[in-house]
Structures are given as structure tokens and as C-alpha cells.
Structure 1
Amino acid sequence: MFKRLVGDRSGNFGMMTALLLVPVIGTAGLALDISDALLVKTTLQGAADAAAIAAVAESSAGVTEAMHMSSDGPLTAAVADAKKIFIAQTGSAEGYELISTDVSVVKHGSELKAVFSYKAKVPTTLARVLGQDAVTVSGKAEATFQTQTFRDFYLLLDNTPSMGVGATPADITKMVNNTSDECAFACHIVKNGVENKNSYYNLAKKLGVTIRIDVVAKATAALMETAKTLRKSSNQYRMAVYTFGEKAEDTKLLEVASLTDNLDSVQTKAAKIGLMSIPEKNYNNDQQTDFDRALKSIGQLVGAPGTGASAASPEKVVFFVSDGVGDAEKPSTCTKATNGRRCQEPIDITECTALKAKGYRIAVLYTTYLPLPTNDWYNKWIKPFQAEIPKRMEACASPGLFFEVSPSEGITNAMNALFKKIVSMPRLTS
């Protein structure tokens, strides 16, 4: 009987099934548990992605913090934001135990990098029969953001007597028709501190004539609104405004507004820019437009250019607005024929080249020098090189930063367009 029992094979299948049932159930359960773990990982990865992106989003506290930093380093505000976003994204999700999270948000140069990592434990069910109590999932998310460039703008505005010409052909015609010598220029005569009430400057006001410097002043003030709208932090753009001088007797740069990020203050001061005064007509042979001296002087004020990566290392931009005709005492190096020692010429770009060689960018807004066909002086001295003026002004500018506009076409729009072009151009980092 014992031999028959041992030799009987009729129950093998049932026994084998019973023996294999545990690993089969465990394996199937493990597959289900891994599937659950993958769903948890997907949830956590989505939350980590959202947290990393939020940490360096353009409008985030982290970016604001970075814009105020003068050196590289961690961004504590961004870390706090990332953790909040991660928690908000995961909510009250169940089915896992969060073991750890780690957040790193660092500013390096002009780049912000956020790294959010996580680890969680997902309890198993059927896989427990194999001794597998939990499945561990982990992952990380990375996000980067390129901060905006910090820039210092030095606005150099030509307010010399030639900028007293009528702003539009209609304004020129009105001045010519209302002056005995058919003069299109609103000469601003002030002698010994006393304004000449009969000067053409006051006549222009009475006639309602707009002169070119008035349009430039208005456009400069309006530019501050554009800058405030585009900046990402209050100290991203700083502005300084200079003119060629207050009076012809002392033609040195006049500081209208010192370098500051208080653009409201600059706006108020810029709106009051006026035409350079002269003590009398033809004072000093009208040699008040000395571009060489003005550009050299602004270069001495600007200081060393930076990389633009931080507030402590801003790029330097000279924003030059003029009609492009020089008129100064320059007997030996004038590019055109001289009248005695007087040099009238389209801008000599020597000083522009020197500024660019130092690492400064020059943005040039050329306010078209309008023809004055009834003016003998214009016909003899300016008309012969009229076509060269815009070419020289463009040569003064850094590549891509030249704009020509007639006052009647909208200097305000042109000035804003040129500014937007500056701030949107790529910055060289090496």
C-alpha cells in the first residue's frame, strides 16, 4: 500500500498549482503595485515640474530677488515658493508616503536654475506575499530662466541753436512768414540773465510754433513710461540725461538728471529741457554744436561698461539724439571746407568709434535735418553735404541701433522703438 501511495502521480497538477500559487499571485500583485507606483510618480513629477517652473517664473519672487542681487548665490524666496507650489499640486493625495524633498534655486550670472527632487514610498498590496512591503519612487525637475539685462542709459540730447528750427515744414513756413529776415530758427536770446522778450524763441511761442527741441523733450519724458513698463525690477534700468549746455557762453554738458532708477524724477526733469540760449544773434560765429567735445565728455562720465548680468555690472548705453550737423571751431581736422576757423560738417564719427571701442553701445536717433531753401546760409554750407548726414549718424551708432525720423513722423514713437530694440537685442556674455 505504501509503495502504491508513493508511486501514485494522479494529484501532481493540483500540488504544483498549490505550490506555484504564491509566486504567481505575488508576481501579478507586484505588477499591479508597480503600476500604482508609476501613477504616484507621475503625480509627483508633475508637481515637481510645476514647482521648479514657478520658482524661476518671470513674475516670481525669486526673479525679483535675483534682479536685486549684486552677486551670484541661492534664492531663498524662490525655494519657499517652490515648496508651496509642490504642496499645492499634490494636495491631499493618498496612497504614498513622501520621504523627502530637496529644492535648490541658484543665480549664476544672468541665469537662474531651479532643481526640485523628491522621494516617496508607495505601499504594496499583493506583492507583500513576496516580502515587498513598498515601492520607492523618486525623480527631479529642472528649470532655468535667463534674467533681463541691467543697463545704464546716458541720454545725450542736442539742444544747440539749430534744434530751435521749426519741428515740421509747416512750423518752418510759419516762422519764415513771420520774421523780417525769413528766419526758420527760434533763437533763444538771453543776455546777462535777462531774456529778450522780442527774440524769435518767444515769437515761436506766440505763434504756436513747435520747435525741434520741444518735441525731443516731450519724447524723452515719454520714454520713461516705456522703460517703467518694460523693466522687470525697479533697478533694472537707470537713466541719466544731458544736453549740450544751458547757454552758449558756457558750452559744457548740462546734467538735466543724474543717473538714477527713479524714472519718475527723470521724466519730470526731461519734460523741462529747453533750447540753449545765446546772448545775441551769431554769437561766437554760431559755433555751439561741438559733437566731438560732447561725446568725449559723456564718455568721461559713463564709467566702465559691465556685463549686464547684475545691478552691480550694468551695460552702458549712450542714447544720442541730434540733427547730425556739427558746428564748432575746428580749423585743422574738419571733414568739410571751413569758414575761417568755423567747421560745419556732418558728424565726425571719431569720438563715436572711441566710445564703442571702450565697450559702450551707442543708439542714435537722427532727427532729419529739414532743408531750408529760403536760407542762404543753409544753401551754401549745409545743402552740399545734406545727403551725407544720415550716413554719418548711422556710422556713429552701434550695429542695428540707428533710427531716422522726421519730427512730423513722431519722435516719441521712434524713441520708444529704438529703446525697445536695445533692450530686446541679445547680450554677448563672452
Structure 2
Amino acid sequence: MFTRRLLADRSGNFGMLTALLMVPLIGSAGMAIDYGHAMSLRTQLYAAADAAAVGAISQKSNAVTQAMTMSGDGALAVGQTDARSIFMSQMQGELTASNVNVDIQVNKVSNQLNSQVTFSASIPTTFMQIFGRNTIDISGTANAVFQTAAFMNFYILLDNTPSMGVGATPTDVATMEKKTPDTCAFACHVVSDAGVEDPNSYYNLAKKNNVTLRIDVVRQATQQLTQTAKTQRVSDNQFSMGVYTFGQRAQDANLTTISSPITDLDKVANYTNAVDLMSIPYQGYNNDQQTSFDNALTQMKTIIGDQGDGNTQTQPQKILFFVSDGVGDSYKPSTCTKATTGGRCQEPIDTSFCKPLKDKGIKIAVLYTTYLPLPNNSWYNSWIKPFQSQIPTKMAECASPGLYFEVTPTDGIAQAMNALFLKVIRMPRITS
């Protein structure tokens, strides 16, 4: 009878079932806790891997500096070392005692740096040990890509012809007009064939009266530009600069190399001290025909050569940096775009000589130093004033898209040159 009642009694079923379910319930909850803990650590490791992958090839990293000196592709050991250091520095708390394996690859391929950080670890469990699972394996991979800065050669063509002997500011122009008997605003640089400088030339008059000439400001601005380039370069060999003028003397006016393109920008600045106003042997020499943009641009095309992709120092991108007041004055009896007098051609720049450079992919950055109106000068009124408004238009047409800048006498030429330079180096680069 007792046995039959016991078997028929259902009042303890819930407790029995609960007891039977406790093990899987606790196991499931413990499994969730263990997996959640493992995934939390995996997230931390991913963050560390991301930081390492990106930091190893950031713009100022050792890997980028090394890559900029390489002539070909290959592994960047210094980048691997830096990535490992960054990764390990991110280890905190429990991770510092964990056995984390990390594999790092940093390579240069063409103009790109690729970094890959792969990690793996076995995280000890707590509750899952009930089921004989002592660890949870976690792993992950972080990748980063950096496009190296372009190598660039700058060919700086400075107009140093007599028209650049005008005063740099309206005040300087007024001083020259006041101090010269014929109210001439130009500081003509008279040096005889024997090399003897005329002490009474307007050039020396300008010096005695502390008049700053346009060529003085251009020279100083070019020297400051080399310092800007030093602060902007990623590596010592990223930028090369060369400086050219239209010639030292009018007697043998021809494109003159002040400095061939070199990476030692301090030397370029020092060489640029030699940039001065072209001298003439006497007033009116060669009918004042000393400014041939046609010849200068044709010769620069030969000097610059073919365009490079900028991926290596041996294949730099090439930029002609042209600074001028935009008025040509040369002997062109049949091809001048304006009326001539005795074959003398005074005209805005003939942009047909800019086109062959641009057709080769050479960028032309133009800094137009505004040609100052000279209302007291009869020559200006007769020959330049009629096309004065066309000068900036033609200079802009010579420039590559987005690389034209006009600077007036009240503006800072140095600041304008720096702004144009920064625009060049920050333009998007198309790569294959």
C-alpha cells in the first residue's frame, strides 16, 4: 500500500526536474559568460591590431621614410618592428598575461605600403571546464594601406628680364619716378661689355634709395619656398628643385641654370642668391628685346624631359613653376600675336609654347606678378596698355588647371608662392 501511494504521488516532480536541469542550465550560462569574455578580449586585440597596422605606415612613420628611399618593392623591416611595438603597447589587464601570437607583414608595392597584423590567442575558460573545454581560440587580421607621397621635381623659371626691374610696390614705383630725370619706373641694370657697372644706372639709384625691385622680392620668395618644401617633405629626397632665369646679360640672353634640380634645398636657396636683374650694356640695347617666353619655354621642355609617375625618385612628377609679369618682348616679325614695330614683338605670353609641355603631362604652375600700369610712361601707354587686360588671361591659360595664382604689389609674393606650392603637392594623384 505504501509503495503504491509513493509511486502515485506527483508532488515532487518539479524539484526533481529542476535538479536534473541545473547542470545544463548552469553550463549554458557559463558557456555564454566564457564566450562573451573571449569576444571582449578579441575586440581589444582587434583594436590593438588596427592601431599597429595604421601606425606602422602613417605619414611620418619610419616605414614611409624607408619606403621613400627604396628604388623597388620589398619588405619594410622597420615597419614590422614599429607595428609590433604599437601592438604590444595596447596590451592591458588580462591580455598582458595572455599568450598572444602576432604575425606582422609590412611591404612596399609600387607606390603603396601595405601592412597586415594577424593575431591569435587561447583564452582560458571558467565554466566550460565542466564540459572539458579549457580554452577558447580567438583570432583576427587588420589591414591598412598607405599611398606614398609623390616624388616631385620643381623647375622654377624666374623672369629676371629688365621689366622685372620695376619697383615692387606702388611706393617703390613712385620713388623711382621721383628720383629719375625722365620719371622712369624701371631700374635699368647697366653693365658694360667689359663688366664695369655704371654707377649712375637706375639700378644703382634704386639701391641707394632703398627701393625694392620686383626681382628682389621674387628672389627672396624663391629662397623662402625652399624652406617651405623642407617642412612639407616626407623624406629628404622627396622634392628636388632647380632654378632658372632668362640670362645674366642681355648680350647673351639665354636660359641660364642657377641650380639644376637637387634635393639639398639649402644649397638651392644659397645658389638663388645669384638671381638678379638681367644687365644691359646701354639704354635701348637690342631695341629692348630681352624677354622671349617662346625660347625659354622651348628650352625648359628639353631640360624637363618626360613626365614620371612620382612613385620613385628616378621617376618623379615634374612641375614647371613659372614666375613672371607676363609680357613678352622679343624679335618676332612674322609670328607675333600683336602689332610689331621693326619686328619687335610686345605681347602677352604666347600660350602655344605652354601646350607642348602640358601635352607631355608636365604640370605648369604660374605665379603672375601683376604688370603694373605706368600711366606716366609713353611707351607703356602706346604698346602695353592696349593689351593690359589680356595679360592675366593668357598667363592663366598657360597654367595647368587649378595652378594659376596672381599676386598684386600689395600682396606677399612669398606667401603666394608658398600657397601655389602647397596646392601642387596636395593635388590628388591618379595612380594605376
TM-score by length of structure 1 reads 0.94
- Judge conservation of contact 1:40–1:96 (CA < 8 Å) in 2: no
**What residue is the counterpart of 2:419 in the other structure?**
417
How do residues 369-388 of structure 1 correspond to structure 2 at under 5 angstroms? 369-388=371-390
How many residue pairs are counted as aligned between the two chains?
430
**What residue is the counterpart of 2:187 in the other structure?**
186
> Following the alignment from structure 1 to structure 2, what is the Cα–Cα distance between the partners of residues 276 and 408?
24
**What residue is the counterpart of 1:167 in the other structure?**
168
Greater CA drift, 364-373 or 87-96 = 87-96
For residues 163-212 of structure 1, give each alpha carbon's deviation from its aligned partner in whole angstroms, at most 9, with x where no partner exists: 11122222222222222222211111111111111211111111111111
Match of 1:200 among 185, 202, 205: 202
For residues 320-355 of structure 1, give each alpha carbon's deviation from its aligned partner in whole angstroms, at most 9, with x where no partner exists: 001111011111111011111211111101110111
> Following the alignment from structure 2 to structure 1, what is the Cα–Cα distance between the partners of residues 289 and 348?
14
Please list every run of 5 or more consecutive structure 2 residues that lacks an aligned counterpart in the other structure. Answer: none
Amino acid paired to 1:308: G
**What residue is the counterpart of 2:60 in the other structure?**
59
> Following the alignment from structure 1 to structure 2, what is the Cα–Cα distance between the partners of residues 182 and 270?
31
> Following the alignment from structure 1 to structure 2, what is the Cα–Cα distance between the partners of residues 87 and 104?
15
**What residue is the counterpart of 1:338 in the other structure?**
340
- Judge conservation of contact 1:335–1:348 (CA < 8 Å) in 2: yes
For residues 82-105 of structure 1, give each alpha carbon's deviation from its aligned partner in whole angstroms, at most 9, with x where no partner exists: 111111111563597435211122
Matched, 1:393 2:430: no
Question: Deviation of residue 140 (structure 1)?
Answer: 1.6
Amino acid paired to 2:108: K
> Following the alignment from structure 1 to structure 2, what is the Cα–Cα distance between the partners of residues 303 and 73?
29
> Following the alignment from structure 1 to structure 2, what is the Cα–Cα distance between the partners of residues 346 and 151?
29
Amino acid paired to 1:364: V
**What residue is the counterpart of 1:303 in the other structure?**
305
> Following the alignment from structure 2 to structure 1, what is the Cα–Cα distance between the partners of residues 311 and 6?
87
Amino acid paired to 1:169: P
RMSD: 2.2
> Following the alignment from structure 1 to structure 2, what is the Cα–Cα distance between the partners of residues 13 and 5?
18
- Judge conservation of contact 1:161–1:288 (CA < 8 Å) in 2: yes
Query: CA 1:15–1:374 in structure 2 vs 1: closer, same or farther (change >3 Å)?
Result: closer
For residues 342-392 of structure 1, give each alpha carbon's deviation from its aligned partner in whole angstroms, at most 9, with x where no partner exists: 111111011101110011000011111111122221111111111111111
TM-score by length of structure 2 reads 0.93
> Following the alignment from structure 2 to structure 1, what is the Cα–Cα distance between the partners of residues 184 and 265?
37
Amino acid paired to 1:247: R
Greater CA drift, 203-212 or 403-412 = 403-412
How do residues 311-390 of structure 1 correspond to structure 2 at under 5 angstroms? 311-390=313-392
- Judge conservation of contact 2:42–2:138 (CA < 8 Å) in 1: yes
- Judge conservation of contact 2:177–2:184 (CA < 8 Å) in 1: yes
> Following the alignment from structure 1 to structure 2, what is the Cα–Cα distance between the partners of residues 252 and 93?
73
Question: Deviation of residue 79 (structure 1)?
Answer: 0.9
- Judge conservation of contact 1:164–1:187 (CA < 8 Å) in 2: yes
Greater CA drift, 65-74 or 121-130 = 65-74
For residues 29-75 of structure 1, give each alpha carbon's deviation from its aligned partner in whole angstroms, at most 9, with x where no partner exists: 21221122112212212211221121122221112122222333322
- Judge conservation of contact 1:221–1:267 (CA < 8 Å) in 2: yes
- Judge conservation of contact 2:63–2:76 (CA < 8 Å) in 1: yes
Greater CA drift, 27-36 or 332-341 = 27-36
For residues 89-139 of structure 1, give each alpha carbon's deviation from its aligned partner in whole angstroms, at most 9, with x where no partner exists: 115635974352111222233332222111110111221221212111111
- Judge conservation of contact 2:170–2:409 (CA < 8 Å) in 1: no
How do residues 117-156 of structure 1 correspond to structure 2 at under 5 angstroms? 117-156=118-157
